[in-house]
A and B are shown apart, each in its own frame.
Chain A
Amino acid sequence: MEKILEMRNICKSYYGNQVLTNVNLDLFPGEIHSLVGENGSGKSTLMNILFGMPVIQNTGGFEGEIIFEGKPVIIDSPRKAMELGIGMVHQEFMLLPGFTITENIKLNREITKKNFLSRIFGKSLETLDIPRMRKDARKALDTVGMTTLDEWIPVAGLPVAYKQFVEIAREIDKKNLKILVLDEPTAVLSESEVKGFLEVVRFLSKEGIAILFISHRLSEVLEVSDRVTILRDGFVVDHGPISSFNAISIAEKMVGRKVEILELPKRGKNLDETDVIMSINDLHVLMPGEMVKGFDIDIIRGEILGIGGLAGQGKLGIANGIAGLFPSNGSVYFEDEPFQLNNPGFALNKGIVYLSEDRRGVGLLLDESVEINITATAIQAYGEFMKWLLFLKIYDKKAIRQHAIKMIKELDIRCKSPSQPVRRLSGGNQQKVCLARAFTLKPKILFVSEPTRGIDVGAKKLVLDYLVKMNREKGITIVMTSSELAELRSICDRIAIVSEGKPSAILKPTDSDAEFGMAMAGKFQEVIMGER
């Protein structure tokens, strides 16, 4: 059979960050091909390239070639993709709430008829042929099994599952549809809805439509796909027929990396497992995309605790919740006293410092100088680096400069001067600035999320080494959240794996890959039970 699509050697970078490197993907008519990978592994970028999304063009295009039905094609706009017969159901719904289902299904493909004015002014003034549009919409809805859904009600207020089906109906209605991309279509569906949904997907593939299926739910991937391609950090790490994989091997491949056993410095005195610095019970955090639904753990004074898990399972929500950046509830005790959630100032004053995974969005003032970035929070939260000028207490530039120079040396931040804007620094140096800021706050517990994301190898090592150094020398308790299991296993004392917003296992770094894989796939409990 001839391939319908081939993407060859696709490379793409955003603002100097390489997000895709030599990615190859091919697709046969009528197959269901799953694309899996962590958040930030490059799946969405790859699909955006395939669909000619404006975000790709606006950030300088991409390298590599796309071959469609044997011919190289240039897809520089969604319109172009549609003309070729590529349809996409986006992660966020592309439905207009004020339009009826029919209008949405027929968006920009409306059926029109000529009238008096259109004869003079051209096609754009042709009248919409509503009855025919409704008929088409009806047919498409019936195909996806929504036989009872009225095609002339507004989309606003429909249940999410229905919206999902409307999106698919819209793609099916495109007469030339050859490839359908489903970007995490089941994320918003309940279990029973998923069943019906997968049936529709199978039906479509039988009709000869090639389906690219993106999902975090590995059980669905295993159930429905013919082949699978696994992405990690913008590389294809493995691909092949689904029969050669299982949930654990996929999970391992998605997150796995060779574990470098670092020679970690010894502690002055061993950890006292009864000395709990923070006790988290039944923590719920309302962080979109990373919901925490009842997380418990006791953090031991002086340890490095890792938090791992697949994207979307809630691992990032935990630190965000404790730091007060997203609404949360639960009972948390810090040094045996009740800890106030939803109050960033309280957390800071207790010495709980948080380094966000969203470095550019939360962690930095991009247009401010290195020195202000390092000290602003300390000035704000603790009133440090201040002096009196007559009746005003203002910040002391000299003290700030001195401290900044000290931190720049200590962390080897490569910048022209402490007054250079942070925007111009490389990702690694920006991360070092974040670390400098965090340690300026003299934390008792440091929550650090994805500290090595998007930075080069040398900087990675330096960042991890520095974390260990601060932990060993200053005794700072560190809670590190990371998608890179290898890095967690290289420096943590123990690692909590989060699945579906709850702890699924607490493992030692020396535990086997398989155990980590199972924990991540959320199958730990089941497998253990099965073995028994």
Chain B
Amino acid sequence: MNDRTALLKKIDIPTLIIVLFLVGLFVLAFITGVAVPPLIGDSLRRIGMNGVLVLAMVPTIRSGIGPNFGLPIGIIGGLLGALISMQLGLVGFVGFWVAILLAVVFCLPLGLGYSWILEKVRGQEMMVGTYLGYSIVAFMSIMWLLLPFSSPDMVWAIGGKGLRYTLTLNDYFGSVLNDFMKIKIGSFEVPTGLLLFFAGTCVLVYLFFKTRIGLAIDLTGQNEKYAISSGVNTKKARQVAVIFSTVLAGIGIIIYAQSYGFLQLYRAPLYMAFPAVACILIGGASLNRATITNVIVGTTIFQTLLTIALPVLSQVARGDITEVLRMIISNGMILYALSRAPKEAT
């Protein structure tokens, strides 16, 4: 009994509210007769689709920098990778893996530059990260118009210059992971490949934090002085964390896009950091503690909530209330984390 109350105490109040809300939605789904199985399949797809982006929060949080609000920086790297893969006319898994490979190649220097700036502004990383992310998105919007991409599927039909707002991936690497070993039972679909990829990345990140450099990042985040006295180069540890997070963001957007079926350019990456931050916080992370479990739990709760909410709430309320819900829940969660009194000062 005591253990159970202790567990309850450990769960954040907002997380509890969100879980209760989710349960309420399921109940409502049964009452209104909305078919649940396809929704579950849908929610699985969304978990896999967003999971890697949420995972990208782990390294920076654990290194003491806080959530990576500069996620769009990595996303830009990922988009570049995907675009070049498309321009080369690569399709299927080849296209997918080349995109990932290129994304990593682009994200490494981007992450390096980003980490250099963050190191200069220790203590203000969240805000600076946010606006660096915004800036690079706006800057790349110009580049999308100017870069010499020429595949007719990608550029505007009229004029033949400048990339389109959204690019269809169907003929390239759309859904390659989702369809890999897909299990289909009636209207219930399991995107096995996608989930496997997400699980694989989770395991990799988990193992990474058991290596020496991973542990160095952990030590740096938890107690910088302890880390220094253990011979850790804390600047380098943070640098690795930021680069790792940026690379994960780059991979994450490719996973997202292949599952979504479209590559979204221009302003689309602008606000992608916030739901990812919210996910990991809902999963029980704080601004300086995060685990893989937080990622999986948070992504599951939040994405399931959004999937279920749309059809269920449209039965009782009008129109697309989910977008509003998403805004309130995700930003509310971040606000809660920001305003939480820091634990006992050292």
Chain A contact residues, CB within 8 Å of chain B: 15, 323-325, 344-345, 347-349, 354, 356, 358, 360-368, 376-377, 379-381, 383, 386, 389, 392-395, 423
Contact = CB atoms under 8 A, between A and B. Distances in A.
Contact of B207 (A15, A365, A381, A394): A394
B212 A379 contact: yes
B4 to A, nearest CB: 18
B346 A380 contact: no
20 contacts: A323-B229, A344-B231, A348-B230, A354-B229, A356-B225, A361-B223, A362-B225, A362-B226, A363-B226, A363-B229, A365-B222, A365-B223, A365-B226, A366-B222, A376-B215, A383-B212, A392-B207, A392-B210, A392-B211, A395-B215
Contact of A356 (B207, B215, B229, B344): B229
Given A362-B225, A365-B226, A380-B219, A348 B212 contact: no
A366 B223 contact: yes
A368 B226 CA distance: 12
Contacts of B216: 380
B49 interface: no
Nearest to A379: B215
Contacts of B232: 380
A393 B210 CA distance: 8
A380 B231 contact: yes
Contact of A368 (B207, B222, B231): B222
Ranked nearest first, the 10 interchain pairs of A and B with the lowest CB-CB distance are A345-B231, A394-B210, A377-B230, A362-B225, A381-B231, A348-B231, A380-B230, A365-B222, A344-B231, A361-B346
Which of B207, B212, B231 has the most chain A CB within a 10 Å cutoff? B231
A361 B223 CA distance: 8
B238 interface: no
Contacts of A394: 207, 210-211
Nearest to B231: A345
B228 A325 contact: yes
Interface of B: 207-208, 210-212, 215-216, 219, 222-223, 225-233, 289, 344, 346
A373 B263 CA distance: 46
A15 B344 contact: yes
Contacts of A392: 207-208, 210-211
A376 B346 contact: no
Contacts of A364: 223, 226
Contacts of A368: 222
Contacts of B215: 376, 379-380, 395
Contacts of A365: 219, 222-223, 226
Contacts of A389: 207
A347 B228 CA distance: 11
B228 A386 contact: no
Which of A345, A347, A365 has the most chain B CB within a 10 Å cutoff? A365
Given A354-B229, A366-B223, 5 more contacts: A325-B225, A364-B223, A367-B222, A376-B215, A394-B211
B103 to A, nearest CB: 21
A325 B223 CA distance: 14
A3 to B, nearest CB: 36
Contact of A367 (B211, B231, B289): B289
A361 B212 contact: no
Contacts of B227: 380
Contacts of A393: 211-212
A376 B211 CA distance: 11
A376 B209 CA distance: 12
A366 B225 CA distance: 12
Which of B207, B208, B210 has the most chain A CB within a 10 Å cutoff? B210
B223 A344 contact: no
A381 B227 CA distance: 10
A6 B207 CA distance: 61
Contacts of B231: 344-345, 347-349, 377, 380-381
Nearest to B219: A376
A358 B223 CA distance: 12
A386 B219 contact: no
Nearest to A381: B231
Given A325-B229, A380-B231, A362 B211 contact: no
A297 to B, nearest CB: 22
A344 to B, nearest CB: 5
A397 to B, nearest CB: 8
Given A377-B231, A381-B231, A362 B223 contact: yes
Contacts of A383: 212
A9 B215 CA distance: 48
A461 to B, nearest CB: 26
B210 A395 contact: yes
Contact of B229 (A349, A362, A379): A362
Nearest to B213: A380
A383 B230 CA distance: 12
Contacts of A367: 222, 289
A389 to B, nearest CB: 7
Nearest to A348: B231
Contact of B230 (A360, A381, A386): A381
Nearest to A368: B222
B346 A366 contact: yes
A389 B203 CA distance: 12
A265 B346 CA distance: 38
Contact of A380 (B207, B212, B223, B289): B212
A287 to B, nearest CB: 13
A60 B228 CA distance: 33
B207 A386 contact: no
Nearest to A360: B346
Contacts of A348: 230-231
Nearest to A383: B212
Which of B207, B225, B229 has the most chain A CB within a 10 Å cutoff? B229
Contacts of A366: 222-223, 346
Contact of A386 (B208, B212, B226, B229): B212
Contacts of B228: 324-325, 344
Nearest to A373: B226
Contacts of A344: 228-231
A510 to B, nearest CB: 34
Contacts of A395: 210-212, 215
A380 B208 CA distance: 14
A94 to B, nearest CB: 20
A363 B233 CA distance: 17
Contacts of A323: 229
A381 B219 CA distance: 12
A94 B225 CA distance: 27
Contacts of A354: 229
B202 to A, nearest CB: 15
A361 B345 CA distance: 9
Which of B208, B230, B289 has the most chain A CB within a 10 Å cutoff? B230
A311 B8 CA distance: 46
A358 B215 CA distance: 22
A492 B219 CA distance: 33
B285 to A, nearest CB: 13
A362 B232 CA distance: 13
A13 to B, nearest CB: 14
Contacts of A381: 230-231
A16 B310 CA distance: 52
A422 to B, nearest CB: 11
B68 to A, nearest CB: 21
A361 B232 CA distance: 16
A356 B227 CA distance: 13
A506 B233 CA distance: 36
A216 B232 CA distance: 36
B295 to A, nearest CB: 19
B61 to A, nearest CB: 13
B210 to A, nearest CB: 4
A50 to B, nearest CB: 22
B117 to A, nearest CB: 25
